[in-house]
Amino acid sequence: MHLANDARKALRRIALGDTDFPQQCTVALQDPQTEVRVWLHGLGAPRDVTECHTVACAAPLTIGIGSESGSMPNLNSQLCLHFREHGGDERLLGEIGLRPLKVMPTGGPELQLFSVRNCRNYCLPAMRIWAHSLYQAYVRNRDHTLDIPIETREIDSMAVLFICPRPVALVTATHEDHGNMFPMNLMGPIGNGYFAFALNSTRPASHLVERAGRIALSTIPLEHAASARQLGRNHKLECLNWNQLPFPTKLSPAFHIPIPCFTLRVREMEIETSQKLGSHTLFVAHTIRDESFASGLQFFMVHGTYQARRQRNGCQAPGRISVQHGESD
């Protein structure tokens, strides 16, 4: 057994080399991040959608983009997202081909939903990217505890999506005598004060949010990232014992529900609509109150292949965590 484990580790070192990073790596950035821009191609001039797109569902992988256009692209449109460095030579880091699915209307911008046709990751040489994809497929094939079956193409596309640094926030929801606080990273603004986020449909946290109809979304300073990650298990809880939180709380300004005392910013939102898309339920909410308390570096996550590129270019990561995509959502 020890020999087999040693052999696997040796093969991993040979295949991944100095790019051996976990799928999700913690990085410290100001919000909004300015490292990567996301561009939508295929509808005339390229459109910057960095601040109006989100991961809407993990399986099947679905991407949402806020739009004021009022019309859905033609099914035959050759749409794709380009992930580019911001500044310098604006090098192309990755791309994802999109296929239009449907429109989710809101009281503000429409949320256009897309499935994934294909993807390319240019953060590392092609052989390294292939090795990462093969290794992750091997890991998932051996892990019988995963509750979301995700195809290899979707895993590879998620890696490209997380080239764009994505913030991790703490969500608070309360309903009657039930309440919970948990981390989330499948989320993003879609324009005009509207926000979309996805939660695992089978988890009690998602059901609580549906009943509550509103949430407080708290940003996380980097120094409290470890405490926030501890709350990942709360996705599976029906109700939280507030006295067991690893940090003190205060009441949010509008909804008067518990939020971390350390939060830099809190957005209080009312949920306008929700829709189950597969493994995840997509929620669309509008902001009731947005208040900042301080500024500073925040808890973001990027994919390991992009982090490997960052380190090769001289960016140092303050920490990293080896978890699968979705465990914070």
pTM attached to this predicted model: 0.90
pLDDT (tens digit, 0 to 9) for every residue of the chain, 329 residues total?
A: 555 465 566 666 666 777 777 788 999 999 999 999 999 999 889 999 999 999 999 999 999 999 876 555 666 668 999 999 998 889 999 999 999 999 998 999 999 999 999 999 999 988 888 887 877 777 777 766 667 778 888 999 999 999 999 999 999 999 999 999 999 999 999 999 999 999 999 999 999 999 999 999 999 999 999 999 999 999 999 899 999 999 999 999 999 999 999 999 999 999 999 999 999 999 999 999 999 999 999 999 999 999 999 988 876 544 443 333 334 45
Identify whether residues 146 and 237 lie together within a single domain.
Answer: no
Which DSSP string do the residues of 143-206 spell out, in sequence order?
-TT-SS---HHHHHHHHHHTTS-EE-EEEEEEETTEEEEEEE-SEEEEETTEEEEEEETTSHHH
- Residue 183 contacts by C-beta under 8 Å, 6 or more apart in sequence? 168, 169, 170, 171, 220, 228, 229, 231, 232, 328
Residue 313 lies in a domain: no
Query: In terms of domains, do 148 and 202 share one?
Result: no
**159 and 83 in one domain?**
yes
pLDDT of amino acid 317: 44
Q: How many CA atoms lie within 13 A of 320 on its CB side?
A: 18
One domain for residues 182 and 156? no
Angle at which helix 126-142 crosses helix 152-161, to 10 degrees, equals 120
Which DSSP letter does residue 9 get? H
Terminus-to-terminus CA distance in the chain, angstroms? Answer: 35
Examine the domain organization and report whether 63 and 151 are in the same domain.
yes
Q: Which CATH number is 215's domain given? A: 2.30.110.10
Which of these three, 108, 135, 164, is where a domain ends? 164
226: in domain? yes
Is 3 contained in some domain? Answer: no
Residues 55 and 140 in one domain: yes
216 domain residue, yes or no: yes
Measured CA to CA, the distance from residue 113 to residue 99 in angstroms comes to 9
| 266-282: b (≥16 Cβ within 10 Å) or e | bbbbebbebeebbbbbb
* Domain stops at, among 164, 196, 224: 164
Indicate the residue among 164, 198, 219 that finishes a domain: 164
**145 lies in the same domain as 174:** no
Same domain as 284, residue 217:
yes
174, 159: one domain: no
Residue 309 lies in a domain: no
Q: Domain of 99: which CATH number?
A: 2.30.110
DSSP 221: B
Nearest partner of 38 among 185, 184, 165, 192, judged by Cα: 165
* Host domain of residue 41: 18-25+36-164
In a domain, 322, yes or no: no
Residues 46 and 149 in one domain: yes
For residue 305, tell me if it sits in a domain: no
* Token pair in block for residue 193: 């004060």
Amino acid letter, 274 = S
The CA angle 40-42-43, to the nearest 5 degrees, is: 90
Please give the full DSSP string across 72-141, using - where no structure is assigned: PPPTT--EEEEEEESSTT--EEEEEEEEEEEEE--SSSEEEEEEEEEEEE-SS-HHHHHHHHHHHHHHHH
Residues 58 and 142 in one domain: yes
Number of structural domains in the chain:
2
Under 8 Å between Cβ of 77 and 117: no
Bridge partners of 189?
Answer: 195
Q: Are residues 196 and 242 in the same domain?
A: yes
